[in-house]
Amino acid sequence: MNSKKIANFAFVNTIVCILYTLFGISNFAQTEVSRFPEGPTVNFDGISVFDYYYGYFVYWWNLAVAWFKDNSWQVQLSFALIFLCIVTMIILSVLFYRNIREVNRFEKNVQWVNDNLREHFYNILISIEQPTMEEVEKECNMTVEKMREIPPKVMATAISSLRMELSELTVLPNTQLLCDITGVTQYLETNLIAKRDVMETLQNLVNLHLRVSEGLLAIYINHYNSNLRQMARMSYMICTETEPYRYLEEDLQEKQALWRPMMLHRLFGWLRDTERQMPQFLVLANVMQDESTASFLIEEIAYWGSEEEKSQLKQFFVSKMFKCRESALKAVALLGDESQEQAIVESYTHQPEYLRRSCLRAIHAINSGRNTEFFVDAYYRTSSKETKECALTCLYSYGEDGRSRFEQMHVDMISDQQGLNLLNQIDSMALLQQMRMF
Amino acid sequence: MLELIRDNILYFYGYIVFFYSLLLISTYVMLLIMSYKYSKNYKRWTDDYIKHMVDSTPYVPGVSIVAPAFNESKTIIDNVNSLLNLEYPNFEICIVNDGSKDDTLQKLIDNFDLVEVSFEYVERIHCAPFRHLYRSTNFKYQRLVVVDKVNGGTKADAVNAGLNVITNPYFINTDVDCVLSRDAIYHCVFPALLDDSVIAVSGTMSMSNGSTIKDGVLVDVAPSSQPIPLFQDLEYKRSFLVGKMGWSYINAMNNVSGGYGLFNTEVVIAAGGYGTDSFAEDMDMLTRMIAYCCDFKRPYRVVQIPHNCCWTEGPSSLRMIYRQRVRWGRGLIQLMHQHHRILFNPRYKRLGLITFPNTFLFEFLAPVIESVGFFTFLYLAFTGAVNWSTFFVMFFAIYSFSYMLSSFVVFYDFIQGKSYTSIRSYIKLFIAALFEPIIYHPIIVYCSLVGYYKYITKQKAVWVSMERKGMKKAE
């Protein structure tokens, strides 16, 4: 019997004994104190273990009752508290000792892997060619059997941390091979089957972009815990090639904080780099009820959308949802798409103040050189200090034409102290940036 | 007749105190369970994964670190270097020179190649007049911004000036002498990424008195060998890992420490910024933030994270701890006085129905009940009315509970990610837990009472900066 089974057995026994004790309280109080444990009893079914424990409990219970029965209930309660505290501290000491040993052992193993295998793993991961098993053995100076003797949790930690170091590379095609050889994939699959550390396992699967059987994810894909469910669905996108976005729309309909879009953004990057089919961002953005989700999808078009989707961003400049307008403007700014510049200029007057600043930034990012006067107008027309600052900042770095207009404004605003302050602020920031270059 | 009245009063007083203690113990047990559940849930996200995600996304929100400095000439360079060593893709450091009389500003200018830049200052929150804004010409220090202002007399005033300058959606309020762990920003931003209703995040803090620093980074983290910082370390751990984390589980936290906490800039400004007249500006700020959210029906969450994010130098002498705790005592009574409308007010949800009543009963009234109990005990002892065996049993019960709680916290700290580098440090804490209830706790009770007295009698408060010894420096 392994230690877990023994612990379970002891736990069940303890519970049964406590139940016996509790149900027998009224009888014990009347029992004589001198009653000693009688040991295992024999009946027709053999030796009764429960009776044996029961006798012990009756003995100690009676002893305790006899000792404390003359005290007030307050004192009895205090004794109970002392007893509980002592028991808790004993348990804590044992757990502390056990934890120290476990942590030390784990850290030692991880250190060993880092010292002896990390460099080899690194070479395998960044290699363009897929190595054979023999080549992996040769690279690591270790047989696969030997590698598999190392606890897979340690291996998973080491490979995962290495993957994170290589985060600039979206795709590492040999990760799957390395994890299969070292037993990490098997370990993670076992965790999913045994429902052990599921969240950590799913994080590893998503982080390493490992493919496991879709069937293993089935029970987590519709899990009640939203974080776990979403992680499982992300893992599903990696594992399946038949219909990867089956759950995406349903998933996106849920209220999103920033964390989920961040994870999806990285996953979309990986999907694109592995030449998988991408989701239809534009279609999804149009059906989303939640403003934040729709705006996220619009912004994603700039990163991973198709050319057709990119060219249609202008439709969102006058969307009913302000966040979508902001994202579309950001996306066009990221793309630097000159063909949509005019649409931005035309939408400017229909925007609230904070979105006007997004318009200015987008026009500045496109940098066609055609809108110098637009910035100047924007400065004079607005009463918002932030928009004025934004317009001047854009004007300052809008090519030679923009810079000379900026200098001209210095002269024009000689009597406007607030305006001069803003001009000086932008001037000095730009100067500072230049000084930082050298 | 008089004797009968006295006996009855003592009888009922005894019962009140007994049930009060039972209630307090039950609260602690409940908090222990809740904090365990909370951290178990929180720990599901691995640190590496969080860091990796934040590093590889363009959606990461910007964070400003606002750190006021007043006459910090001795340590300012090390401290700013330590802040510059932080890891996070999008952050700025805003040092507010609160009219220092020494050469704090000059040292900053010389060491970090600062130049004065024009800045159109807009006072979104009131504070003492702004003077200048400095930025570095060196690319290495491009994240650094120094605000120079007229001394406002309080830390709150300096933080408000910083808030008028920063533009990021979140800011971290810390002291310039605090040493932050390199990944501190990742840890405290994460709850806000996970849930957009998070308005404040509190990181766990420890004492740095016994630690060694090298180039702004702690290399050997150990508790102090001096008794006061050691006791305070234990107290901090209990407060963060059990108290705050437990309350965090049911979204009923009442304080985010002024030493280290992340806040939503917009909510802080909407709530009116830091109160410059408050003696406990951190508690006051959070109370007003939550009250603002409740008043305007805005969802909110205040979160405590189990990670040790910040090390601060605690008072190492009796004189300094007396000053600090008297101020905290004043702050607590002031908070209760100024925000009494929140107490038992269902409009303020958990704050009004759970947190405030709890603070009132177990934080504000505790020193009063404890001191009355102590003097009653002395009276009974001198009149021979004490049942000594009962006394010892009850004393030992409370003492063992207190020790058990501290042991639990120390163990908890270990499994949460080890604040200290060696096991010996933990043993030190276990030993400190033996003496803390009988040596340190009475001092704290006394200081709180003095604070209450000074507030009630409206004695003038003088702000004195803490004398610091600094940490040991590694060769």
What are B369-381's pLDDT values in tens digits? 999 989 988 998 9
- pLDDT, chain B, mean: 89
Q: In this model, does residue A7 exceed pLDDT 60? A: no
Q: Would you say residue B331 has pLDDT above 70?
A: yes
A40, pLDDT greater than 60: no
Burial A145-157 (b: 16+ CB within 10 A, else e): eebbebbbbbbbb
In whole angstroms, what is the distance from residue A208 CA to residue A174 CA? 10
pLDDT mean over B383-393: 88
The model's pLDDT over B401-448, given as tens digits with 9 standing for 90+, comes to 999 999 989 888 888 767 787 888 888 999 999 999 999 999 999 999
CB contact B461 to A (< 8 Å):
no
**Is B420 near chain A, with CB under 8 Å?**
no
Structure tokens at B397: 């019960």
Residue B411: the pLDDT is: 87
Give A1 or B450, the one with higher predicted confidence: B450
Span A245-252, average pLDDT: 88
Interface residue B415 vs chain A (CB under 8 A): yes
Q: What is the pLDDT of residue A17?
A: 47
What residues of chain B lie within 8 A of the CB of A96, using their CB?
Answer: 411, 414
Residue-wise pLDDT tens digits, B459-472: 877 666 666 666 66
Which residue reads 């904090």 in tokens?
A: B35
Asked if B59's CB is within 8 angstroms of A265's CB, the reply is: yes
- Predicted pLDDT at A21: 46
Which of B118, B138, B393 has the CB atom closest to A78's CB atom? Answer: B393
Contacts with A, B 79-138, CB within 8 Å:
115, 117-120, 122, 135-138
Q: What's the average model confidence in pLDDT over A234-258?
A: 87
Q: Quick one: average pLDDT of B207-220?
A: 80
CA–CA min distance B227, chain A (Å): 23
Residue of B nearest to A73 (CA): B390
Is the predicted pLDDT of residue B19 greater than 80, yes or no?
yes
pLDDT for B397: 92
Q: What is the pLDDT of residue B464?
A: 64
Chain A residue closest in CA terms to B46: A200
Q: Which of B393, B395, B409, B423 to mutate to test the interface with A (most CBs of A within 10 A)?
A: B393
Sheet holding B114-117, edge to edge: B114-117, B130-136, B144-149, B91-98, B63-69, B170-174, B260-264, B198-207, B301-312, B179-180
The per-residue pLDDT for range A41-83, each reduced to its tens digit, is 555 555 566 677 778 888 888 887 777 777 888 888 888 899 9
Residue labelled with tokens 């004065």: B116
Separation CA B289–CA A181 (nearest Å): 54
Distance from CA of A262 to the nearest CA of B (A): 6
Q: Tell which of A78, A84, A98, A196 to mutate to test the B interface (max B CBs under 10 Å).
A: A78
Residue B276 — pLDDT band, cuts 50, 70, 90?
Answer: confident
| pLDDT score at A161 | 87
**pLDDT reported for residue A425:** 83
Nearest-5° Cα angle at B185, B179 to B188: 110
Interchain CB contact of B274 with A (< 8 Å): no
A14 has pLDDT over 70: no
- Residues 127-166, chain B, touching A (beta carbon < 8 A): 135-139, 142
Task: Sort out which chain A residues have CB atoms less than 8 A from B57's CB and list them.
Answer: 262, 265-266
Q: How confident is the model at residue A32 (pLDDT cuts 50, 70, 90)?
A: very low
Distance from CA of B110 to the nearest CA of A (A): 16
Q: What is the pLDDT of residue B176?
A: 85
Average pLDDT of the residues in B154-162? 93
Instruction: Measure the CA–CA gap between A18 and B14, rounded to whole angstroms.
Output: 33
| Minimal CA separation from A191 to chain B, in Å | 14
Give the whole-angstrom CA distance, residue A389 versus residue B71: 34
pLDDT band at A417; cut points 50, 70, 90: confident
Mean pLDDT of the region A327-340: 93
> What is the structure's pLDDT at A30?
40
Residue A272 forms contact with B (CB below 8 Å): no
User: Cβ of B56 under 8 Å from any chain A Cβ?
Assistant: yes
Contact B25 A81 (CB under 8 A): yes
Tell me which amino acid residue A171 is. Answer: V
pLDDT confidence of residue B18: 86
Predicted pLDDT of residue B93: 95
CB spacing of B401 vs A418 below 8 angstroms: no
Tell me whether residues B196 and A257 touch, CB distance under 8 A: yes
Does the distance separating the beta carbons of A199 and B118 come in below 8 Å?
A: no
Q: Which of B296, B281, B329, B252 is nearest to B175 (CA)?
A: B281
- Interchain pair A81, B401: CB under 8 A: yes
pLDDT score recorded for residue A127: 85
Q: Do A89 and B404 touch (CB under 8 A)?
A: yes
pLDDT tens digit sequence for A423-437? 888 887 777 777 777
The mean per-residue pLDDT over the stretch A287-300 comes to 91
- Is residue B11 predicted with pLDDT exceeding 90? no
- Facing residue for B195 by CB, picked from A92, A257, A418: A257
Tell me which residue has tokens 């190649």: B113
Helix (H, G, I), strand (E, B) or coil at A255: coil
- Say yes or no to pLDDT of B153 above 70: yes
Nearest to A85 among B53, B404, B423 (CB): B404
Give the pLDDT confidence of B119-134 residue by residue, as tens digits. Answer: 878 888 999 999 999 9
Per the structure block, which two tokens stand in for A357? 């600043």
| Averaged pLDDT score across all residues of chain A | 84
Mean pLDDT confidence for A177-205: 92
Rounded CA-CA distance B239/B260 in Å is: 14
Residue B408 touches chain A, beta carbons under 8 Å = yes
Q: What is the pLDDT of residue A45?
A: 55
Q: Given an 8 Å threshold on Cβ–Cβ distance, is B400 in contact with A86?
A: yes
Share of chain A above pLDDT 70, in %: 88
Q: Which residues of B touch A203 (CB under 8 A)?
A: 45-46, 49
Asked if B397 and A81 come within 8 Å (Cβ–Cβ), the reply is: yes
Q: What is the DSSP letter of A214?
A: H
The answer, yes or no, to whether residue A160 has pLDDT greater than 60, is: yes
pLDDT, average across residues B171-192: 91
Which amino acid appears at position B422 of this protein? S
Cβ–Cβ of B415/A421 closer than 8 Å? no
Q: Note the pLDDT tens digit of each residue in B89-127.
A: 999 999 999 999 989 999 999 999 999 888 878 888 999
State the Cα–Cα distance between residues B366 and A65, nearest whole angstrom.
34
pLDDT at A25 over 50: no
- Alpha-carbon distance A68 to nearest alpha carbon in chain B (angstroms): 12
Q: Do B394 and A74 touch (CB under 8 A)?
A: yes
Please answer whether residues B145 and B95 qualify as being in contact, where contact means their C-beta atoms are separated by less than 8 angstroms. Answer: yes
ipTM: 0.85
